[in-house]
Amino acid sequence: MPPTGSETGVAAPLSGVRVLDLANEWGILAGNVLADLGADVVAVEPPAGSTARRLGPFRDDSGRAEDSLFWLAYARNKRGISLAIDTPDGLELLLRLVRDADVLIESFAPGWLAGIGLGYDVLAAANPRLIQVSVSPFGQDGPKANWPATDLTVTAASNYLLASGDPDRPPLHVPYHQAYLHAGTEAASGCLVAIRERRRSGLGQLVDVSAQEAMTSCTQSFILSSAWNDVSFFRLPPGPTRVKVGLSGVYPAKDGAVVIGFFFGSGLGPLAVKFMHWVYEEGMCDERDRDKDWVNYMALLNSGEETVEELDRVRGVLERFTSSKTKQELLEGSLSRGLLLSPAFTVKDVIESPQMAHRGYWQRTATGDKSVQYPGPFARFSASPLQYGPPAPSIGEHNAAILGGELGLGQRELEALAARGVV
Amino acid sequence: MNKALEGLKVLDLTWVVVGPTAVRVLADYGATVVHVETGTRVDTARTAPPFRDSKPGPESSACFNNGNAGKLGLLLNLRVPEARTVLTRLIEWADVLAENFTPHVMRRWGLDYESVRAINPRIIYLSASMMGQEGPYSNLAAIGNVGAALGGFTNVVGWPDRQPSGPGGAYTDYVASKYITISLLAALEYRDRTGEGQYIDLAQAETAVHFLAPAYLDVQVNGRLPETHGNRSPEHAPHGVFPCLGHEQWIAIAVEDEAQWTALARIIGRPELAEDPSLQSVLGRQARLEELEAAIAAWTATVEPGKAEALLVAAGVPAHAALDSPAAVADPQLNHRGHFVPVEHAQWDSMVVEGSRFRLGRTPAAITAGGPTFGQHNDTVLRDILGIDDATITDLAIAGAFD
């Protein structure tokens, strides 16, 4: 049996690591990842609340900061304080917290922290072991570093925007703030590399993450096409696209949609052949369609022996087949026949998935008056399983515990700071 | 040279995209990564475009070289029993083993975690798969675009009047890849503290759920399933991708507040919209989105994307041309960041791969080589790293271990 718990008393990879998480939506996932790994992550919000709380959807569509499901999802496992770091008192308190911190994550506009007197040099002077992780749309420097940007515009800058959508309409953005999230995972990786390096040098450093660069990996190297003197797949006209991806795509099912990988070539072509045998067995295609040389179909198209029109006809055959079946029937066929095919699961399907139930994936966390299933461990660690603690903090929820308990501020001082709008 | 992960030893049994890309990050920061492959079943990544000069070939794939830059390449056919002696030596040597075969493959080869741990108790062993190592769907043959269907992504991308189109490419690969890197580094930190290695079972579909977490909460809290909205956003309006002058030229524009809306309306030559009080709120603009989008598109269609972008950005409106590959490779920001790195390669005079997606100030990434050619480092790995003598290497070669 693998070890199921540490014999050394260290519960998690980052037990005892203190993270000050000043990040807004651009870097919010980084702290979430580090918290799942056991770090003590303290979200530091302005007294009015993080701008990440403006992102929906919202509980009961209220639009209120405390009801942002974006915040509830990505501030889970963190504690939270409110602090106006752009006031002299707030700055002083933050510097006191920095002295005992391992990591500071921020995603303000590049240069903003330095402008209020909290540049990396100041923070590193207060604590040379501090790792500062800075997340921004385009990176800390360069001609676009201070461009106004959103998740959508950064995706456009990454080349990935051209990868999605229908050929007769504009390219499509993948919703739910993917660029922020990719940037957040890159920030977590960079932070972990810096933590490991600090073990040797004893020194922190600055980790600089650009969301534009974080998104480029989604192009699967197609961003390099012109540097390699090749043409990208993205937004090719329909004919060549179909030649290159075969009959792969989204098809209608009786109660939703199904995604099929139907590729030509020796690697994945045999799976297309297996699929055609199923269609034939169900009486939905003839022997001629079943027995086309799907493995070598690309060559047949190139030689003119087969045509894109003929491929379109077969797509119609496949559509009639998938339309006659439910998602569940298609899933069972895929599992029993070993096909490259999956129903397009809704989020409800995924929550009810017997696979995830088998793995004990979902983690219940109180959310208002409801117990809600949150995404579980992003990976199953045999010796140091990821651990889930509190729901996302309300604004300033842990002011007393951290500013009072740790920094030793008395009740009266906290009240005075609150009166001046510092906490 | 100050390398953050100097001395780290990685046995990389991964293939295609998700695993190799994740492990490459360790090589970027100084780890010694031995990438094992066989010539008898060529890595799909070597058959994936883009290709050098548009000509397919196993040493010509940007996908393979970008995902395996800086690794040592070892040809080793794990289906040949004699190859196992070499693999055992590599397991003894390694701090980390990563693999992403279909779940039963490593077990069938007798290379499950228990067996590997018996050889090297401190090893960190990561298995990445689509659905996880066990469970009713664990053997689902799922790669590429099918992963998005399993993770809930297909249904959130598309136009409301059409069937969903799903995200482009093998989207969940790109999500899972980042969590693989994180998991390996986290397990190393744990081992540095405790001396314990461990097994990591990472399911791609489970990582993908994290990138849709608010939708998973929405369905439970509000009982609402996500719908497709094209490029429209619940928070910002207008929010879209508009056609520009030229063939397949597009610009993304996102209006976050009233000041940006006013600036945009003036730039597109519609001052009366800028002054319309009913449009001075998100809700007001959302109520008239079709009209506003048509007004924006009427202007963008007359302007080149670079010019539209410059005008909008100067006025404080978030906007960016949808860069295609030539425009991205020429992008001043990506070039300022050193995103495109010329590297050496055994077969080609020069080659360009992507740089690290994060920058460490004191111990930066060092990316100097593309991916290995077939068996490029067999000598280095067998002789220099493992110290295997020539006679044994010859015997192994005759047995087909290096095919």
Q: Could you tell me the CATH number of the domain that includes residue A154?
A: 3.40.50.10540
Q: Is residue B217 part of a domain?
A: no
* Subunit contact A377:B44, Cβ cutoff 8 A: no
- What DSSP state is assigned to residue B71? P
**For residue A1, is it within any domain?**
no
Confidence of residue B1 (pLDDT cuts 50, 70, 90): low
At A265, the pLDDT band (50, 70, 90 cuts) reads confident
Question: What is the arithmetic mean of pLDDT over A173-178?
Answer: 98
Residue B315 resides in a domain: yes
Q: Pick the last residue of a domain from A320, A346, A372.
A: A346
Whether the per-residue pLDDT at A412 is higher than 80: the answer is: yes
Per-residue pLDDT tens digits for B27-41: 999 999 999 999 999
Q: What is the DSSP letter of B235?
A: S
The pLDDT of A397-410, averaged and rounded, is 96
Task: Assess if residue B255 is contained within a domain.
Answer: yes
Instruction: Quote the pLDDT of residue A11.
Output: 84
Q: Do both B159 and B261 map to the same domain?
A: no
> Which of B329, B347, B362 represents a domain boundary (last residue)?
B329
- Residue B232 falls within a domain, yes or no? no
- B322 in reach of chain A (CB within 8 A): yes
Same domain, B191 and B315: no
Kindly report, residue by residue over B235-282, the tens digit of the pLDDT. 999 999 999 999 999 999 999 999 999 999 999 999 999 999 999 999
Contact B252 A380 (CB under 8 A): no
User: Which residues from A are below 8 Å from B67, CB to CB?
Assistant: 221
A252's tokens:
């209608």
ipTM for the assembly:
0.98
Q: CB under 8 Å to A322, separation ≥6 — which residues?
A: A251, A252, A253, A258, A260, A330
Whether B287 and B350 map to the same domain: the answer is: no
pLDDT in tens, A326-383: 999 999 999 999 999 999 999 999 999 999 999 999 999 888 888 999 999 999 999 9
Position A9 confidence tier, pLDDT thresholds 50, 70, 90: low
The mean per-residue pLDDT over the stretch A222-233 comes to 96
Number of separate domains in chain A: 2
Residues B59 and B202 occupy one common structural domain: yes
Residues of B in contact with A203 (CB under 8 A): 362
- Cβ-nearest to B219 among A206, A214, A347: A347
> Are the C-beta atoms of A99 and A92 separated by less than 8 Å?
no
Question: Which residues of chain A lie closer than 8 angstroms to B229, CB-CB?
Answer: 175
- Six token digits for residue B227: 């719908």
Residue finishing a domain among B329, B358, B380: B329
pLDDT (tens digit, 9 = 90+) per residue, B177-196? 999 999 999 999 999 999 99
Over residues B310-324, mean pLDDT:
98
- Among A346, A373, A388, which residue terminates a domain? A346
B215 or A9, which is more confident: B215
Catalytic residue, candidates B53, B161, B173, B349: B173
pLDDT, tens digit, for every residue of B9-21? 999 999 999 999 9
Written as six digits, the tokens of A232 are 């990208």
**Is A60 within the bounds of a domain?**
yes
Domain around A101: 18-218+362-419
Does residue B304 sit in the same domain as residue B168?
no
**CB-CB under 8 Å, B193 with A10:** yes
Structure-block tokens of residue B310? 């410059």
Q: Does B151 sit within 8 Å of A148, measured CB to CB? A: no
Of B248, B256, B325, the CB nearest to A223: B325
pLDDT exceeds 90 at position B77: yes
CB contact under 8 A, A256 and B241: no
Same domain, B277 and B310: yes
Instruction: Give chain B positions within 8 Å (CB) of A149.
Output: 318, 320
Report CA Rg, chain B: 25
Cβ–Cβ contact B298 with A under 8 A: no
* Contact between chains at B333 and A157 (C-beta distance less than 8 A): yes
Q: Is residue A354 part of a domain?
A: no
Q: Cα distance from A74 to chain B (closest Cα, Å)? A: 8
Using CA atoms, how far apart are residues B319 and B251, in angstroms rounded to an integer? 7
Query: A5 falls in which pLDDT band (50, 70, 90)?
Result: very low
B contacts of A194 (beta carbons < 8 Å): 4, 360, 363
Q: Is the peptide bond before A46 cis (omega within 30 degrees of 0)?
A: no
Those of residues 182-211 in B touching chain A at CB distance below 8 A are 182-183, 185-190, 192-203, 205-207, 209-211
What is the pLDDT confidence band of residue A1, given thresholds at 50, 70 and 90?
A: very low
- Report residue A342 as tokens: 């999956």
Same domain, A263 and A330: yes
A-B Cβ pairs (cutoff 8 Å, strict): 535
Respond yes or no: is residue B95 known to be catalytic: no
Same domain, B63 and B152: yes
Q: Is B348 helix (H, G, I), strand (E, B) or coil?
A: coil
B108-145: b (≥16 Cβ within 10 Å) or e: ebebbbeebbeebeebbbbbbbbbbbebebbbbbbbbb
Whether residues B256 and B380 fall in one domain: no
- Specify if A283 maps to a domain: yes
Mean pLDDT along residues B89-95: 98
Inter-chain touch B336–A143, beta carbons under 8 Å? yes
Same domain, B180 and B112: yes
A213, part of any domain: yes
A390 and A303: one domain? no
- B300 and B153 in a single domain? The answer is no
Residue B54 belongs to a domain: yes
Question: Residue A4 pLDDT more than 50?
Answer: no
Read off the pLDDT of each residue in A245-262 and give the average, rounded to a whole number: 94
Say if the Cβ atoms of B328 and A141 lie within 8 Å. no
Six-digit token pair at A259? 């995604």
Whether A25 and A129 map to the same domain: the answer is yes
Using an 8 Å CB-CB cutoff, list chain B residues near A14.
186, 189
Q: What is the pLDDT of residue A266?
A: 83
- Rounded to a whole number, what is the distance in Å from the CA of B398 to chain A's nearest CA? 28
| pLDDT band at residue A3 under the 50/70/90 scheme | very low
**What pLDDT sits at residue A2?**
42
Q: What is the DSSP secondary-structure string of B290-327? A: HHHHHHHHHHHTTS-HHHHHHHHHHTT--EEE---HHH
Q: What's the CA gap between B183 and B117, in Å, rounded? A: 18
pLDDT in tens, A127-168: 999 999 999 999 999 999 999 999 999 999 999 999 999 999
Residues B85, B196 share a domain: yes
Contacts 24+ apart (CB under 8 A), B281-289: B282/B235, B282/B236, B282/B237, B285/B237, B285/B238, B285/B255, B285/B261, B286/B237, B289/B232, B289/B237, B289/B238
pLDDT value of position A344: 97
Which chain B residues are closer than 8 Å to A73 by Cβ?
A: 213-214, 216-217
Q: Please tell me the distance from the alpha carbon of residue B252 to that of residue B323, in angstroms, as a whole number.
A: 10
Q: Are residues B248 and B153 in the same domain?
A: no
Domain assignment present for residue A186? The answer is yes
Residue of A150, A182, A258 to mutate, testing the B interface (most B Cβ within 10 Å of its Cβ): A150
Say whether residue B371 is in contact with chain A using an 8 A CB cutoff: no
| Chain B nearest CA to A10, separation (Å) | 7
Number of structural domains found in chain B: 2
Paired with A103 in beta bridges are A19, A131
Where does a domain end: B329, B349, B380? B329
Question: A356 in a domain, yes or no?
Answer: no
Interface contact B20, partner A, CB < 8 A: no
Domain termination residue (choose one: A322, A346, A370): A346
Q: Are residues A116 and A81 in the same domain?
A: yes
pLDDT at A8: 55
Q: CB distance B136–A354 less than 8 Å?
A: yes
**Are A101 and A39 found together in one domain?**
yes
Q: Which domain holds residue B63?
A: 9-211+337-399
- Please indicate, yes or no, whether residues A160 and A298 belong to a single structural domain of this protein: no
Q: Do A370 and A337 sit in the same domain of this protein? A: no
Which CATH number does the domain housing residue B367 bear?
3.40.50.10540
A129 and A91 inside one domain:
yes
Residue A6 — pLDDT band, cuts 50, 70, 90? Answer: very low
Please report whether residue B1 resides in a domain: no
